[in-house]
Structures are given as C-alpha cells and as structure tokens.
A and B are shown apart, each in its own frame.
Chain A
C-alpha cells in the first residue's frame, strides 16, 4: 500500500471488547469492554499490569484466542467488522494484513522444522517467488532483525538457538508478509538493549516505508517512550488511560499510570555510593575457571560444533548477587545451565557449593541441587503443562524433602502466590490459564520456595510490568538479605541489574569481557562493548529518546553474537 497515506485514517477500531474464559465457577470475564484504536502507520503501545488482558485483547483481533474463550464487542479492521467475518476472510487477513509476534518465543516455533523452512514457507505464502528467491529474502529478513550469520541460522532447529534469537526469528516471520498491522506482544523481552534498539528502529522504519501500523505490548516504559506515538494503559482488564506518548508520560491522569511511571527503574536515576570491591572473604559458592561449553553444531551430524562459552572465569561469593549481562546469544542462559549441571560442560571446571559440577555423578548433582534453584528464561515451557501451578510451585519442596505434608504444601503455595502478587486461590489453575507475566512469576515463586543457597535467575522479570517487577525485585532482595543466598541474575535490563546486583559480569559471544562491582561496570565501564550496552539503554522519556535515536540507529549495523 502507498506510504503517503493520511496517517489520520483509522486502521483498527476495538470497542467494548469483553473476553471471558470458562472456569470452575462458570465464565470469568477477563476484559471488561476495552476500546483500542490504531490508525495507519501508527505505533500504539499497550501497556499495563501483567495479567491485565493485553495479550488476550490483542489475540482477539486475528481470532487467535485459546479454545474455550468467548468474546463480545466489536473489532473493525480497515472498516471491516472482524467479529462477524467468516473464518476464511480472517484467514486471508492473517499474515498479509495482520500478523503477530507471540509473547513466548520458546514454544511458538515448530520444533520439527528448521528456522529456514518455517521462514521461507511463510514468505512464499504471501508473495509467490521461487524457493531460491524466498531463501534470499529470508536471509535478508534475518539480517534485518539482527540475527548473527543468518545463513547458518536457517539450518538450525528452534531448540538449537537462544531465546532472543527465536524471538527475532518470529519477528522476521511476522513481518515477512508485509502486514498493515503488526501485533507485537512483548517482542523484545529476550533481547539485550542494543538488539532491542535495532528491532525498534526496524519497526519504526517499516511503519514509515510501508505504512505498517504496530500494536506493541510491552512493560518496558523505555521501549514505549522510544517508539510509541500513542499509549493505551490497561489495568484489571479495562483501559484506564490512553493518549499520545507525551500526554501519558508527562501528564498522566490515572493513578495506576502514575504508580506505573513511578515504579520505572532508570539507570540514570539510580544513586548509590560506589562501595569499592571489599568482597566478603569467604569460600566462593560458585567458582568458574576456564569454563567452556560446546553445542553439537547444526543437526548433530558432522556440522561444526558451536562454542557457546569459552574460558569463562569468575566466582560468586556467599550472599553476593552477580548480574550477568550481554547481548542475546552471548551465552548467558548456557552459563546459567552449566552452573546447575544442566548442560554438559566441555572444558574447564565449575564448582558450586563445593561440588565439582564437571565431575559430579547423578547423586552428587542431586545433592548439589538441593541447595541451588533456578528461574528459567521461558516461563511457559519450563512449567509442566499437566501440573497445577500450585503443584509446580511446591513440588521442589517435596523433591528436596523440605516439606511433604499436603496441607502444609497447599498453605505454602498460597503464601508464595501472594508474594508474587497472584491470588492464592489460583493454586489449582494450569499454566496455560495464565498470562505470560503470571507464568513468569510462578517460575520465581517456585525458585524461591526451596530457600536455596545459590539462585540462577534467567531474565526473571522480562515479562513483568515495572510495578510488579519492582515488587518481585524487592521480594528477591528481601529474601536475599534474610537467607543470604548468592544469585546469578541474568538480565538485559541494565537498570534492573543496577538495582539488584553487587557485581556484574559482561558476556560477549561466549567470552567474559568485563567483571567488576556493579557500580564500577555500570558507571565507569572500561570495555567499549559495555559502554555501548549502556549507551543503548532506553530512558522512559519520549523527548530524550527522540534525541538519542539518530546516534543509536547507525550504531546498529554491527553484527552480534
């Protein structure tokens, strides 16, 4: 479609949308008559509390609500009523007119096809071209979304690439059909700031060139400030405020919005005195020396092996929180898993609470794991779909033998749910009945349940709105000071890292580039790479963002990990 269209023309009109799900007590309504509108080429940010109904609202547009969900209200796309349109009609719109980036990238890709196949198929569905052309286009798309050496990525299967890489693959797939409306549900949760900036630039660019409108769901106010023309704020299933970015940021009318903005951690605003590295003189709980992890390359057979980690060396003292930052695909998750002995360590050694993970047998590992705990990067796939969240939270207690009595476990489950700001009554819901952020909180609740000595948290707040995030972080710090556990905190959100970590390890392409006290690294970084990370941090201030944009966008062309 022509790019020079009057931007005032409305593309999407959602009004009075009510979505409800079957539950033990009949239908429960989760959105209560929401109104959202998007005009051509515009970027609308849908923000709000985790679980407030952002995803379901968005999914109702291309009729992708989970089975059993029912909805009422009106959705007009380009003047056409979608709620009453035929399935076939909706199908035609999908991909070519309206496409989606799903919140959880882990499970969103078909495990049995390579990235390449899934992408090229999608391309050929919308514009007829030879498979060769499609391949070229695919590579082009992967490059656009900043994926390192795309040719190789094409041959990978979903389980062979990192969270952030999957997310980008999904984005590539979503924009492959040159849609007029892109629904992006937390599209950058797994992306480090530099890549994130790149993606945002890309979206903006597509908007400008092809007049693609974007309905972006995010909890990252920085992202909002950076990209959004207009902002819609949701709370408890209703829209509580909407307006231009400036209006919402500088003249918020609703209390929730204000609390939201207030809760935003911002690296610039952080101000704690630089406590110089006088670290506790104890035995380190985690000690990594020249740690290396290799993944079998490609489809396992004969392809070159891939070095995810090389010569990683650092240690974690008791009661210390080490922030692990680095671009997507730099090996953060791999490191976390290696520490817990979940990934085979191919070289070097790792000793955790005195156990040498590289040499430990099954039994020893189990012993070790009584004292360790983990929040997985992807909330969805790390929860047993056949277990209620209550069980998921308390099973570790049973397994580690801390608590076995049913009643006690039930009580504990309730407690933990409350602690992560979920109603304790939800204990016997199943994971698929939760929102992304809610699932993530289940992951956190599970991780803290066992009162570990070492906690590995992989992007634990990536899907949480800032206010919930604040709560969770406070909770962690509180427990930390109470139990004094050590923590490897993986995050791409430097602000969060600054808030919680004593020390920071910076990874790049599987190598440690910088290790030092948080203050040191984040205030006076030595490494060029770290500086770039910092410079790419988004500030929740539309004006500031607009100014920084230019300088950032040209910093994007660099290939990443």
Chain B
C-alpha cells in the first residue's frame, strides 16, 4: 500500500522494536535451520544425567527429565510452536476479520448468519472445543492449527464487526461507494486500513493465546504428543517438577514471553507506521 514501505517502517522504528524484530528473525531462522543450529537431537534421551542445571557438561540450558538437551528442544520446539501459533493466528485473523467485515458492512441476513456463527463458536469455551477436537483427531499440528484458528477467529470477528460498524458510516467510505468501488475493495482497501489498529493490537494477544492454549492442552495431557518438543508442552512438564528443578519451567516460559513480547512490539511499530499521522510524529522525533 505504501511505496518504499519497509524502508519507511525501519526509518521510523524505535530501537526496541528493531531489537524485537531481530529476535523474531533469530527464532524463525533457528526454527528453519534447527538441524544445523541445535547442539543435539531433541529426542536423544540420557536419563542418567537428567535435570542438569544450565551449563552442565555442554548443555547450555541444562537438560529435562529425560536428560534431553533443553536448548535443542527449544529450537525444535520453535518449529512446532511457530507453525501452530502463526498458522492458527493467521486462520483466526483471516476468517474472523472476514466474517466481521461482511457482517457489519452488508448487515441484514449476512450479519445474522456470520455473527450467530461467531457466537456459536464463542459459546464453546476454547479449551472445550480444543479438547473435543483433539480427542477425536489426535493432537497433530494441522489439527491444532485449525482448531486454535477456529477458537480465536471470533475475537477478530467481533472486533472487526464493532470497528466496522463505527466507520462504515464515515463519509470516505460513502465516497468509495459513490465512486463505484466493489464491496471487496471497500472492505479491503478502505475500511480495513482504518480499523487496522485494533486488529493489529489483537494479533500478539491471539498469538499468545494460541501458545497458551496449546500449553494448557499439554497441561491437561492433550497437547502435542511427546516426545516431540513444543514450548507449551515443555512449560507444562516443567511446571510438574518446578519445586525439584525450575530450570525447564523458567527457560521455556521465558522463551514464550520474549517471543510474544517481540511480536507485540513489532505489531505496535507496524500499527504506528500504518497511521500517517503517527508516522509524521515519529519523523519529527
């Protein structure tokens, strides 16, 4: 939408958000190149020296209850986690904001259908929906992406719905209609950019929620099937014996926090950059 957008984005980004972006890049990269980056196999058990504290013989972040190298598991876990979290968030965002947009903009029966659909989804507590689906289809990555996507789509739908309602009557939207813009164009190019703020704010939240729900499922024993590493799963098992050895818990939680934080910061930066006035103000600094 903006020429030289990225360059501008960087030009206005604060050091913090750049750092955040870097972190994300690192995580993603290590996820992609896990086999080369990871110091050990994430599955290789060495039970005799389980629960090593960080640094102990070559295990930078220590070992878990099966004596597996935590760092390696984090790196491979990133694969699982990012695919699930990003995938689900994407599904939720696309599906949700679509329903919300058309629901609010077209109104009438479309609103009725889309919004009832959303509410029907909402009426299922996420954890329940997840449990049911996982119990039926097992907790494969794809299953999780779809189900978590479904679980979190309503958030975007309702949000978009509310926002769209208040801008749809704006004169510039009318203008677009008056100049024979197709409804998709109006929704996508006119309304969406103007309500992006709230949606972008919702993104990292959803991202966090997906990771948490995945973790919650692991806690209830329905997460990614072991021994495959997933951050959520690691937190869950770390919590079990936190009193004995908190390393696993701390390390894995910290990873999730940092990731969410980074996505949040980058999200904020993008939002500010999407807003012309902000961008000016930023330049002024």
Binding site for B on A (CB under 8 A): 21-22, 66-68, 106, 159, 337, 340, 342, 362, 366-370, 372-374, 376, 378, 381-387, 395-396, 399-400, 428, 430, 432-433, 446, 450
Q: Which residue of A lies closest to B194 (CB)?
A: A386
Judging by beta carbons under 8 Å apart, are A369 and B178 in contact? yes
Q: Which residue of A lies closest to B183 (CB)?
A: A362
Q: Which residue of B lies closest to A22 (CB)?
A: B284
A373 to B169, CA, bound (A): 19
B135 at the interface (CB under 8 A from A): no
Contact of B182 (CB < 8 Å), options: A381, A399, A428, A430: A399
Judging by beta carbons under 8 Å apart, are B185 and A376 in contact? no
A459 to chain B, nearest CB (A): 13
Judging by beta carbons under 8 Å apart, are A366 and B180 in contact? yes
- A446 touching B179 in the complex, CB below 8 Å, given contacts A384-B190, A432-B276: yes
For residue B169, which residues in chain A have a CB less than 8 angstroms away from its CB?
Answer: 159
B124 at the interface (CB under 8 A from A): no
B283 at the interface (CB under 8 A from A): yes
A394 to B280, CA, bound (A): 23
A523 to chain B, nearest CB (A): 34
B170 at the interface (CB under 8 A from A): yes
- A68 touching B179 in the complex, CB below 8 Å, given contacts A382-B171, A384-B190, A386-B274: no
> 9 closest A-B pairs (Cβ-Cβ)?
A369-B180, A396-B179, A430-B276, A386-B193, A68-B284, A382-B171, A381-B171, A399-B181, A22-B284
A30 to chain B, nearest CB (A): 14
Contact of A382 (CB < 8 Å), options: B3, B172, B181, B283: B172
Judging by beta carbons under 8 Å apart, are A373 and B179 in contact? yes
Judging by beta carbons under 8 Å apart, are B176 and A395 in contact? yes
- A386 touching B275 in the complex, CB below 8 Å, given contacts A106-B171, A381-B170: yes
B128 at the interface (CB under 8 A from A): no
Judging by beta carbons under 8 Å apart, are A342 and B177 in contact? yes
A84 to B266, CA, bound (A): 38
Q: Which residue of B lies closest to A112 (CB)?
A: B166
Per-residue CB contact flags for chain B residues 158-187 toward chain A (1 = under 8 Å, else 0) read: 000000000001111011111111110100
- A68 touching B281 in the complex, CB below 8 Å, given contacts A381-B170, A399-B185: yes
B175 to chain A, nearest CB (A): 5
Seed contacts A369-B178, A381-B170; 14 additional CB < 8 Å A-B pairs: A67-B280, A106-B171, A159-B169, A337-B174, A374-B179, A378-B171, A382-B171, A382-B175, A385-B172, A395-B181, A396-B179, A400-B179, A400-B180, A428-B3
For residue A386, which residues in chain B have a CB less than 8 angstroms away from its CB?
Answer: 193-194, 274-276
For residue A67, which residues in chain B have a CB less than 8 angstroms away from its CB?
Answer: 277, 280-281, 284
For residue A385, which residues in chain B have a CB less than 8 angstroms away from its CB?
Answer: 172, 194, 276-277
13 A-B pairs with C-beta separation under 8 A: A68-B280, A68-B281, A159-B169, A337-B174, A366-B182, A374-B178, A383-B172, A384-B176, A386-B194, A386-B276, A428-B3, A432-B277, A446-B179
Q: Which residue of B lies closest to A379 (CB)?
A: B171
A164 to chain B, nearest CB (A): 16
For residue B276, which residues in chain A have a CB less than 8 angstroms away from its CB?
Answer: 385-386, 430, 432
Q: Which residue of A lies closest to B275 (CB)?
A: A386
A21 to B190, CA, bound (A): 27
- A376 touching B171 in the complex, CB below 8 Å, given contacts A67-B277, A68-B284: yes
B208 to chain A, nearest CB (A): 27
- A372 touching B178 in the complex, CB below 8 Å, given contacts A381-B172, A383-B172, A386-B194: yes
Q: Which residue of A lies closest to B177 (CB)?
A: A342
How many residues of B sit at the interface, in one of the four size bands? 20 to 34
Q: Which residue of A lies closest to B278 (CB)?
A: A67
A67 to B180, CA, bound (A): 34
B166 to chain A, nearest CB (A): 8
Q: Which residue of A lies closest to B172 (CB)?
A: A384
Q: Which residue of A lies closest to B106 (CB)?
A: A362
A68 to B190, CA, bound (A): 26
For residue A383, which residues in chain B have a CB less than 8 angstroms away from its CB?
Answer: 172, 175
B92 to chain A, nearest CB (A): 23
A320 to chain B, nearest CB (A): 21
For residue A395, which residues in chain B have a CB less than 8 angstroms away from its CB?
Answer: 176, 179, 181, 189
For residue A68, which residues in chain B have a CB less than 8 angstroms away from its CB?
Answer: 280-281, 283-284
- A369 touching B179 in the complex, CB below 8 Å, given contacts A68-B284, A386-B275, A432-B277: yes
For residue B179, which residues in chain A have a CB less than 8 angstroms away from its CB?
Answer: 369, 373-374, 395-396, 399-400, 446, 450
For residue A340, which residues in chain B have a CB less than 8 angstroms away from its CB?
Answer: 178
A68 to B281, CA, bound (A): 5
For residue A362, which residues in chain B have a CB less than 8 angstroms away from its CB?
Answer: 183
A374 to B181, CA, bound (A): 13
A381 to B176, CA, bound (A): 12
A238 to chain B, nearest CB (A): 24
A395 to B178, CA, bound (A): 12
Judging by beta carbons under 8 Å apart, are B171 and A22 in contact? no
- A384 touching B284 in the complex, CB below 8 Å, given contacts A340-B178, A400-B180: no
Contact of A22 (CB < 8 Å), options: B180, B190, B283: B283
For residue B274, which residues in chain A have a CB less than 8 angstroms away from its CB?
Answer: 386
For residue B193, which residues in chain A have a CB less than 8 angstroms away from its CB?
Answer: 384, 386-387
For residue A376, which residues in chain B have a CB less than 8 angstroms away from its CB?
Answer: 171, 174-175
A445 to chain B, nearest CB (A): 12
Interface residues of B in 251-282 (CB under 8 A from A): 274-277, 280-281
A386 to B281, CA, bound (A): 15
Q: Which residue of B lies closest to A428 (CB)?
A: B3
B182 to chain A, nearest CB (A): 7
For residue B170, which residues in chain A have a CB less than 8 angstroms away from its CB?
Answer: 381
A202 to B143, CA, bound (A): 71
For residue B275, which residues in chain A have a CB less than 8 angstroms away from its CB?
Answer: 386
A368 to B284, CA, bound (A): 45
A65 to chain B, nearest CB (A): 12
A105 to B70, CA, bound (A): 62
Interface residues of B in 12-34 (CB under 8 A from A): none
For residue B190, which residues in chain A have a CB less than 8 angstroms away from its CB?
Answer: 384, 387
For residue A382, which residues in chain B have a CB less than 8 angstroms away from its CB?
Answer: 171-172, 174-175
- A342 touching B283 in the complex, CB below 8 Å, given contacts A384-B172, A386-B193, A386-B274: no
Per-residue CB contact flags for chain B residues 86-122 toward chain A (1 = under 8 Å, else 0) read: 0000000000000000000000000000000000000
B177 to chain A, nearest CB (A): 7
